[in-house]
Amino acid sequence: MLFNSVQYLLIFLPVVFFIYFLFNKFKLFKAATIFLLFASLFFYGSYKIEYVYILIVSIVINYLFSLLFKRNLTSKQKTFVLILALFTNISILIGFKYFVFLADIYTTLIHAPFNAMEYIMPLGISFFTLQQVSYVIDCYKGNVKDYNFFDYALFVSFFPQLVAGPIVRHQEMIPQFNDLSKRIINQQNIFIGIFLITIGLLKKVVFADNFTPFIDTVMKYDIYTDFGVSWFLGIAKVLQGYFDFSGYCDMALGSAFLFNISLPWNFNSPYKAQSILDYWSRWNMTLIRFLKDYIYIPLMKKFDNAVSSISSVQNKENQSSQENFGDFSLVSYESIKKQPLFKICLNVMLVFFIYGLWEGTNPVRVCYGLLSGLLICINLLWMKLNIKIPKVFSILITFTSLVLLTPFIGVDEFKNTFIMLKSMFGFAESFKPIAISGINLKFFPIPFDLELNWIILLMCIYIVFISKNSTQLAKLYSEKNNFLYTIILAIVFFISTLFITKSTEFIYFIF
């Protein structure tokens, strides 16, 4: 079941909302928790029932590991349990997600065909596995209170954040589930929730999916050998990714708000970033937080017994916009003054190598992670040399860098990646003309009726670079909250639902 579906928006979500608060109305709080848990499992299993079994097994295994940490264990025994828990989770993740990837490596190394068996890829396994890894590590550190099984299971499977994040922490979620003040219908949260759901739906079905026909046509017929087509493909990919993931994050947060649950923000105008490091503090923020807290900081402790101050270097305007988002930057300017740049860059490269593995099951994606890490290292050197660039140019340079990385996330073979890069750098086989025909850009003389809606393109560019983001707009809406705004919101929701029939899965749907 997709967020951007009629079944979810008009059936599942209203029914679950009504029954959940009906239980709470009669003070059946335990029943309400169990119902929300089973509703989340139903949501997850609506795509394939087999996925529910995998999720339940993962939840049970990790909860049992958490119970072991509560026993009177020695330090060595706790370390053994932690290693066993990490090994189990990573093995499950690799077994499901990276089987074909490993099979491809095997085939390449021995130059022999290898028929990968058919397998199922559980939805969101990358997200709920990392979420549980953070939980067992916190159990090992003794930073977890006593939670019953249903609280823990709901923390992992809560449907707004189950499939594609955000990657939440137990201390952020479970206390909210147990807070009786949140078991009462909150009109203000309903307004905010509906607003975010509507904005997220608009981003997905009207903006993100608008780029899909153009991108699919270019990729299907391998026509990115043209200079103009390759650049418009790169721009379309980054804009599609922005509105797809941003739309999902908005709908996830909005759905949770209906139940008075606040999820951590996961998206903060990343294309307004003034550096690649700033970008990675704004995109998939809870994943970067996980990588920072459980990989980067331990690595820095290993190399140097001092942990750097982990806060992003931003001007006052950026600091103001970030104040409600927590600390998501990997490295700070203060840290590169205190620690050797080589050590920092080495750990950054290790972190982004892992990110590349997490990003996809293809060597090209691993290369994308490594290149992202390399750009951050260049960014750190730039910061260490204290080189200043005007704000507008720094934003454009960052955005252009992201467009130039799209060949590593848009295609699946290095051969095609290099062809697209060659075209983007001006060594193209052709420079075909582009014309405006009504509301579309038409690419000639390509025989595949290649078009791109230039009005939507300009609207998207305005939104990502100039407009307020969903968080800021939701705050304004909740403050104003007048009849006119509600009418406009209803119209936007109605128009968006008309596009649902053309809608596609979110980019992180099977991940």
Per-residue pLDDT tens digits for 22-35:
999 999 999 999 99
Q: Which residue would you say has higher pLDDT here, 496 or 429? A: 496
Helices marked H in 142-226? 149-157, 159-162, 170-177, 187-201, 212-221
Question: Which of 192, 150, 63 lies closest to 481 in space, CA to CA?
Answer: 192
- The average pLDDT across 225-248 equals 90
Question: Which of 426, 423, 451 lies closest to 437 in space, CA to CA?
Answer: 451
User: Which neighbouring-strand residues pair with 226?
Assistant: 430
- pLDDT of residue 108 exceeding 90: no
Angle between helices 363-384 and 414-424 (to 10 degrees): 40
- The average pLDDT across 160-182 equals 90
In this structure, are residues 330 and 288 in contact, taking their beta carbons and an 8 Å threshold? yes
Distance CA 401, CA 405 (A): 6
Q: Which pLDDT belongs to residue 306?
A: 40
- The average pLDDT across 3-8 equals 87
- pLDDT of residue 163 exceeding 90: no
Under the banding of pLDDT at 50, 70 and 90, the label for residue 311 is very low
Q: Which residue would you say has higher pLDDT here, 66 or 318? A: 66
Radius of gyration over alpha carbons of the chain, in Å?
A: 23
Amino acid of residue 345: C
Q: Which pLDDT belongs to residue 475?
A: 80
Under the banding of pLDDT at 50, 70 and 90, the label for residue 81 is very high
Q: Which pLDDT belongs to residue 64?
A: 94
CA 360 from chain centre, in angstroms, equals 13
Question: Which of 264, 268, 250 lies closest to 194 in space, CA to CA?
Answer: 250
Under the banding of pLDDT at 50, 70 and 90, the label for residue 116 is very low
- The average pLDDT across 230-242 equals 92
- The average pLDDT across 448-475 equals 86
Q: Which pLDDT belongs to residue 310?
A: 34
By percentage, how much of the chain surpasses pLDDT 90?
Answer: 36
- The average pLDDT across 368-393 equals 88
In this structure, are residues 172 and 264 in contact, taking their beta carbons and an 8 Å threshold? yes
Q: Please compute, for residue 51, the number of CA atoms within 13 A of its CA located in the half-sphere on the CB side.
A: 22
State the CB neighbour count (10 A cutoff) for residue 182: 16
- pLDDT of residue 83 exceeding 70: yes
Q: Which pLDDT belongs to residue 31?
A: 95
Per-residue pLDDT tens digits for 256-285:
999 999 998 888 889 999 889 889 989 888
Under the banding of pLDDT at 50, 70 and 90, the label for residue 481 is low
Question: Which of 363, 375, 348 lies closest to 273 in space, CA to CA?
Answer: 375
Q: Which residue would you say has higher pLDDT here, 322 or 450? A: 450
Under the banding of pLDDT at 50, 70 and 90, the label for residue 344 is confident
Distance CA 69, CA 63 (A): 10
- pLDDT of residue 313 exceeding 60: no
Under the banding of pLDDT at 50, 70 and 90, the label for residue 324 is very low
Distance CA 14, CA 24 (A): 16
Q: Which pLDDT belongs to residue 320?
A: 32
Per-residue pLDDT tens digits for 277-297:
889 989 888 988 888 888 888
Task: Tell me what the pLDDT averaged over the chain comes to.
Answer: 83
Q: Which residue would you say has higher pLDDT here, 334 or 396? A: 396
Helices marked H in 70-169? 75-97, 99-110, 125-141, 149-157, 159-162
Q: Domain map of the chain by residue range? A: 6-184, 186-263+414-511, 268-388
Map residue 304 onto helix, strand or coil.
coil
By percentage, how much of the chain surpasses pLDDT 70?
Answer: 85
Least confident of 93-97, 211-215, 251-255, 431-435: 431-435
DSSP 363-399: HHHHHHHHHHHHHHHHHHHHHHTT----HHHHHHHHH
- pLDDT of residue 154 exceeding 90: yes
Q: Which pLDDT belongs to residue 496?
A: 83
Question: Which of 195, 250, 258 lies closest to 487 in space, CA to CA?
Answer: 195
Angle between helices 227-258 and 454-465 (to 10 degrees): 60
In this structure, are residues 282 and 267 in contact, taking their beta carbons and an 8 Å threshold? yes
